[in-house]
Structure 1
Amino acid sequence: MNVRIYCRASTEGQHADRALTSLREFSKLKGWQIAGEYIENASGAKLERIELMRLLSEAQPGDLLLVEAIDRLSRLEHSAWVELKDTLNRKGLIIVSMDLPTSWQMVEMAGNDLTSGILRAVNAMLIDILATMARQDYETRRKRPTARHRAG
């Protein structure tokens, strides 16, 4: 199974190195072949990200899109999240998040139609919930006054 690792850090002060190491180890543990690594410092609230677009252009149907957590993939507004999901579905990519066991269990149980179908439905719902929560967290953080603004 081919996996495309996507690591995103939102600020220059954050680094994706730790996440990249964890995702590589996770892929190895699962026996997945790494087909590409995509690392960027960009806001998850923007759909147009250079490395994400490169991943989408290079990905093949059936590839896994592996992230550490859904908020590393998206902090998008609802309409942009729907657009990204539609693109992933058209490309035949499967989102796998290290912190969401249903996402990788779904891949492991691909042969069992009933169980796989149930996991796909549950997983899609959980990913949507996590993406919504990531967006809400993003909006909450933007509303908080920074230390610089409080001191002024």
Structure 2
Amino acid sequence: MYTHLYLRASFKDQDANRAKVALEQFAVEKQLEVVGIYAENVSGTKLNRPELMRLLNTAAAGEVLLVESVDRLSRLSQGDWEALKATIKTKGLRLVVADLPTSHMLIQDQGITGQIMDVVNGMLIDLMATMARLDQEKRVERIRQGLENKRAAEPDWKPAGKGKNVVKWNAVKALMQKHPTMSADDIATLAKCGVATVYRIKREMSLA
């Protein structure tokens, strides 16, 4: 059976491919053939992620969507999570979560037992997705409260802006100048940065 690996890390993490080796080993143990690896550094609170969308467009019915844990796939709002689940179901994909043993049964057809476990597994994944979302919301709230406390204690305080990566910005600018017709997506891929960064640099260059 074919499987597609989805690897995600937030912007603050260093490497979305951190779990790649472990998932590849999991695939070998479960006799799955890896036909696609999709890795990206993007927040799990966003539904429209380039690599996730590419996976969903590429994978065929009956194939496996393999993730390390539910929170790598979703920290989505309830509405967005329902939309993603509906897309996975419509595509006929089998969502297998490496650290959720009940989902491993979806790799093989198990008759009536498999149908029952599919329902149980769906409930567990929903629960884990909810926990991942709540964890994200708590972290955001803690940050918000921390900023409010800091401002209350120091009225003149302002958070420092995130400094730009000069080397990466120069690489993007060089690609733009050398290949003026190249798409923002292709430039972002070559420069190993987000598409949003490419558009920011484009705006900066247009104002220069």
TM-score by length of 2: 0.68
Moved more, 33-42 or 112-121: 112-121
The count of aligned residue pairs is 150
Contact 2:70/2:128, CA 8 A, preserved across alignment: yes
Residues 3-152 of structure 1: matches in 2 within 5 Å?
A: 3-108=3-108, 110=109, 112-145=110-143, 149=147
Render the CA deviation track for 1:2-50: whole Å, top value 9, x for unaligned: 1000000012433123201110111011110001000000000010000
Segments of structure 1 that go 5 or more residues without pairing to the other structure are: none
Measured in 1, the distance between the counterparts of 2:13 and 2:100 equals: 26
Measured in 2, the distance between the counterparts of 1:13 and 1:145 equals: 17
* Equivalent position of 2:164 in the other structure: none
Q: Which amino acid in structure 2 is aligned with residue 51 of structure 1?
A: E
Measured in 2, the distance between the counterparts of 1:75 and 1:81 equals: 8
Q: Which amino acid in structure 2 is aligned with residue 24 of structure 1?
A: E
Task: Tell me the CA shift for residue 67 of structure 1.
Answer: 0.3
Contact 2:47/2:84, CA 8 A, preserved across alignment: yes
Q: Which amino acid in structure 1 is aligned with residue 75 of structure 2?
A: R
Q: Which amino acid in structure 2 is aligned with residue 53 of structure 1?
A: M
Larger RCO (CA under 8 A, 6+ residues apart): 1
Measured in 2, the distance between the counterparts of 1:12 and 1:57 equals: 27
Secondary structure at 2:18 match in 1 = helix
Measured in 2, the distance between the counterparts of 1:65 and 1:138 equals: 23
Percentage of identical aligned residues: 46
Divergent runs of 4+, >6 A: none
Secondary structure at 2:75 match in 1 = coil
Task: Tell me the CA shift for residue 115 of structure 1.
Answer: 1.1
> Which protein is richer in strand relative to its size?
1
Contact 2:75/2:129, CA 8 A, preserved across alignment: yes
Measured in 2, the distance between the counterparts of 1:63 and 1:106 equals: 10
Measured in 1, the distance between the counterparts of 2:81 and 2:95 equals: 13
TM-score by length of 1: 0.92
